[in-house]
Amino acid sequence: MLTKLKAKVQSAMTAQAKAANTLGLTPNTVSAVGIILALLSALAYSSGRQNLSLAVVLLLLSGYCDMLDGALARLCQKTTPFGGFLDSLLDRYADSAVYAGIILGGFCTLPWGLIALVGSLLVSYARARAEAAEIKMESVGLAERAERITILAAASLTEIFLKGAMEAGIIILAILTNLTVLQRSLHAYKTLKKREKA
């Protein structure tokens, strides 16, 4: 979905990565800041409505760091297999913490929160498993990480003025993430079947 804007976003991030590099920032430093911001966002969510504005700001800053560290790694030619592994691992911790914070803060019911959390983790797991089998999975599915953060941020901002918006956002994410897992599973199945026939 949002990957149609990817070229423009990557261009903007490259320019900002150059500025970050000039300041002496490294991909690992940006990744560390990103996970700290995500954990702080989770804490803000868990404390309830009084810190909702802070929670969404921290969430968006964490997402920005996630984009910047990748752009910075590519710019500095510091992309490594372990770096990619670590970045993906930290993203999963960030996602889990934020969903846990939302659940603990009482913004959604436990079943929907858990379904959205599991779906979010499995979207990334499906991609990792597919790419291990050399199946390109980028842009496959409705709810990649950028979309998930956007939906959470939009639901959070709406929740400030309209109680129950966060629950609706979590329900949407619960559906979309698990649908994305299904889309990726079907894509992997079709690709592997074609290989077998070839």
Q: Could you confirm whether 87 is annotated as catalytic?
A: no
CA dihedral 117, 121, 124, 125 (to 10 degrees): -150
One of 66, 69, 87, 91 is an active-site residue; which one?
Answer: 91
Give the HSE-up count for residue 143: Cα atoms under 13 Å, Cβ half-sphere: 27
Residues 187-191: contacts with CB under 8 Å, at least 24 apart = 187/130, 187/135, 187/137, 187/140, 188/126, 188/129, 188/130, 188/133, 188/135, 188/137, 191/135
Residues belonging to the active site: 91
